[in-house]
Structure 1
């Protein structure tokens, strides 16, 4: 068991719906601030590059292309930093669209983790746009010019810890991905979450 010291951070950047360029610049600001404070891993919200509430815009190829292009810009603009960043991004794969967490560091994509449990009740309609990781047989994806591993059970190893990732609703499953990740050796499990608009929701979130 490794008991090394790890400094982590959760970031909540300003986000404009479907404005990937604006969102990417806000994400970069948070990464740079965190790096200056000695943070080693920073986690951002679910679908933070596009905004969670894009609705049927998720079906637009232009939005998906801009999201990947801005991810590339984030990678390029932070390639000199040691910090690991975990970002939310929709990723297209063989006619499917995945709600994913993308892990980047020093100009590279380290891996992609797709969401498994998609909420489809009340104000949530994720199954309208996204495919569950449980339906995906591929174990890699091409993203930003790199072919990288992609699985719900990916583990990421650092010098002083091993971590895994799950996304929002995954946590509420009877046997969440975090349980299997912990059994496989994850010492930290990050959960990328977001919420959509609903009148009065802010009052009980606070």
Structure 2
């Protein structure tokens, strides 16, 4: 079993702080997700984050691209890969790849999930306070991380998101329940959400099965 690591790493933190400063005068809302978002919460990951995932609505992604165009590796373009569809653009800062994901959607048999940053995710996320005292940076709600990783069958990430939710259920469970109600999720996924976030998960919930 790989060694678990914690923390996002200095290069990720520098890139995130720089992106926040660069877009600080922009009204577009965005949230940090993926492995970096989990690491900023103290998640136990098998490896340190290698890139930075920023989620926004499509219109906001276009506005953010204008601010970050000097770092761009490509321009915003719709991408459909396997089960995923999104407006993607990529940037480089200090050796870190920043992926800006607009209107992300994943569709698998029985379930369809799409991100709604302005309508839901931003308001229900959590603030991470940069070490330099700059303004707070918004993290994806843990409910998103749990749902998304169940849908893409990343059991390790799903279990870690569920563990963090169970540590503060009064903070994270209501948002998870409201988020799940907004999405088209299969009965199996909904049952797994309840099982993994129960106060005492059933046998097998944390064993990687």
Does TM, scored on the shorter chain, surpass 0.5? Answer: no
Normalising by structure 2, we get a TM-score of 0.27
Normalising by structure 1, we get a TM-score of 0.28
- Structure number having the greater helix percentage: 2
